Amino acid sequence: MSKVCALVGAGAGLGLAIAQRFGREGYQLALLARRPAALAEYTKTLSDVGIQATGFSVDAADPDSITTAFAAINQTLGHPDVLVYNAALLKQDSVMSLTAETLVQDFKVNAVGVITAIQQVLPEMQHQRSGTILLTGGGLALYPSPQQISLGIGKAAIRYLALGLADELKVDGIHIATVTICGEIAPGTKFDPDAIAAVYWQLHTQTPETWQVEYVYQ
């Protein structure tokens, strides 16, 4: 049976590029995103190039939705060998325009969903004593901006999780890492999705002696 890569936050840019990169290496893709129509489009795009992909509708802000989706993945594809968390709410705000309600709702997607997703894959990875968890970070965690308060808080949380869990998970044979992307993702630029996706595969294939916890892409 093919290994499984679960990708939370499948999208037309980086998400699809990551799916293609792992799919070319023989992984089955479990694509998790909110809109069923988008999932159908992504799975078809991958299928057209011979990559097996199954879509699972999920609300990354809802822990129960994430739990249900991963239960379906486990039943239909098997337990994920790789988890990629790529979901985030990308928008601008300021300290005066940001409401408490918006901050809390954004944080559910940008950070709480990460923890919930990790909780779904960790027990089996610990049992197998192997697995990779890759988190899409952002330069805002290193270079804060007053115009992106909510997203910056979320990316700081992503970085904290990766750095904070790395040593503990390494004992169990699990590699957790974050790709801190310090720029706007756009095709044909230094921040081309395919180029960034190659970093995810690079991190996944590192030997334990060379495991990186953070790759700063800039």
Question: Using an 8 Å Cβ cutoff, are 165 and 216 in contact?
Answer: no
Report the CATH number that the domain containing residue 41 is assigned in CATH.
3.40.50.720
Q: Is 50 helix (H, G, I), strand (E, B) or coil?
A: coil
User: Along the 218 residues of the chain, how does pLDDT read in single tens digits?
Assistant: 789 999 999 999 999 999 999 999 999 999 999 999 999 999 999 999 999 999 999 999 999 999 999 999 999 999 999 999 999 999 999 999 999 999 999 999 999 999 999 999 999 999 999 999 999 999 999 999 999 999 999 999 999 999 999 999 999 999 999 999 999 999 999 999 999 999 999 999 999 999 999 999 99
Tell me the pTM: 0.97
Helix or strand run (H / E) with residue 217:
strand 214-217
- Identify the domain containing residue 107 by its residue range: 4-217
Strand order in the sheet with 214-217: 53-57, 28-33, 4-8, 82-85, 131-138, 174-181, 214-217
Place of tokens 């989706």: 69
User: Could you give the number of structural domains in the chain?
Assistant: 1
Neighbouring-strand partners of residue 55: 31
